[in-house]
Amino acid sequence: MQNRDSLDEWLRWQENLMEETILLGLERVQKVYQRLFPNGVPFFVVTVGGTNGKGSTISFIEGIYRDSEYKIGCSTSPHLIKYNERYAIDGKIVDDATIVRAFEAIERKREGISLTYFEFSTLAALLIFAEASIDIAILEVGLGGRLDSVNVVDCDIAVITNIDIDHTDYLGNTRESIGLEKAGIMRKNKSCFCADQDPPKSLLAYADEIGANLAFVREPYGGEIGLKGDHQKINAALAIKVVEQLNGQFPVSSEMIKAGARKAQIAARFQQIESGNKTVILDVAHNSAAVKTLVKMLEKNAMPTVAIFSALADKDIDDMIRLASKTIMHWFLVPISSERALQTDDLKNIFDSSQATTVCSDMKSAINQALLHNNSSRVVIFGSFYTVTDAMVILQDN
């Protein structure tokens, strides 16, 4: 085994191990998983899939258990600033040495089987949580469900937040095809809670076919929550359903549920920062459904707003711009650190002549220009995780 001492060395190596960053399918990762866990993982598993709201739902579940006697592991993706954010135990991010130990264990069992960056990440989460002797693992599905590496684990409870159009190159371009992919995380005779208010027929049919216990969350949580937006109240209600289902094995009081809903926090979901005389909103809205929700939030407190925006080329960027345009008086278009990003000149061509746009050389320039814009009082930064990450790095240094 080639000597790789630091986490950065391991991550650089993983990025170059396979040409494809995303390669859906469970055959390869399943073999390594079975070598690592021949008897399955030694903890209870909640798998969280859906188009939007996965991270928020996980933050509510984790918040409720934060002050309990149970040890909770959360695996989420992508990270914003630091890779370690992908793994947290009882709300604390895991250190480099723990992650490297997991990677070394995977490499010993891999025996020539190629794994993607994401597959390494999934297996590492399971090893980290096993080493820490956690009680419950909450695993976020990266893409789809049926063929995502997280689905190597047979979950005890499945969660599907909602189903909308995204990742069409991988999942299909209809809600029915995407719904079937998301449904793949369900298991026979196990509970699945779904918050989609108009579920695709494919989801219902698959639940019937395999005998999953599918139930829907229709009513938003009525109590106080730590995250902004009415849509988060549905995510809170979904999280509480999971906790209530687990109450026989992992009991918590109603007071702990209320306190957990209040303390839930997650970065870059309508996160508000004050900078000089401007309000800056960071939001990872990166598809049409998420942008629609973002616009509703902005309209609740209407004020002159400019945007810093960029997006990945495989998104429905035309629709994202169309949805947000009525709330944005000027767009600052910025390059982002992803090979999948749409180039800024191509992005500018999507806008029509009536829309004010400025192409910026980098994120620092975009932030400076947006903050100096005379006629606005709010800057919203959105379009992709990469956009927000790049902005957060600059804003932290200011």
d(CA 356, CA 352): 9
Q: What is the pLDDT of residues 284-311, one digit of tens each?
A: 999 999 999 999 999 999 999 999 999 9
Residue 167 has pLDDT above 80, yes or no: no
One domain for residues 300 and 382:
yes
Give the domain extent around 50. Answer: 7-263
One domain for residues 197 and 92:
yes
End position of a domain, from candidates 228, 263, 298: 263
Residue 316 has pLDDT above 60, yes or no: yes
Number of residues written out for the chain? 398
One domain for residues 31 and 173:
yes
Yes or no: say if 236 and 266 are a contact pair by the CB < 8 Å rule.
Answer: no
Beta bridge partners of 120: none
One domain for residues 308 and 247:
no
Q: In this structure, what CATH number is given to the domain that contains residue 300? A: 3.90.190.20
End position of a domain, from candidates 207, 233, 263: 263
What six digits make up the tokens of 259?
Answer: 């306190």
- Per-residue confidence (pLDDT) for residue 107, from 0 to 100: 96
Residue 160's pLDDT band, with cuts at 50, 70 and 90, is: very high
- Per-residue confidence (pLDDT) for residue 270, from 0 to 100: 97
One domain for residues 294 and 235:
no
One domain for residues 235 and 307:
no
Yes or no: say if 177 and 167 are a contact pair by the CB < 8 Å rule.
Answer: no
Write out the H or E segment, with its range, that includes residue 348.
helix 344-350
End position of a domain, from candidates 263, 283, 311: 263
Residue 240 has pLDDT above 50, yes or no: yes
Question: Domains in the chain: how many in total?
Answer: 2
Q: What percent of the chain shows pLDDT beyond 90?
A: 90
Residue 339's pLDDT band, with cuts at 50, 70 and 90, is: confident
Residue 43 lies in a domain: yes
Helix axes 117-131, 7-17, angle to 10 degrees: 140
One domain for residues 47 and 108:
yes
- Per-residue confidence (pLDDT) for residue 19, from 0 to 100: 62
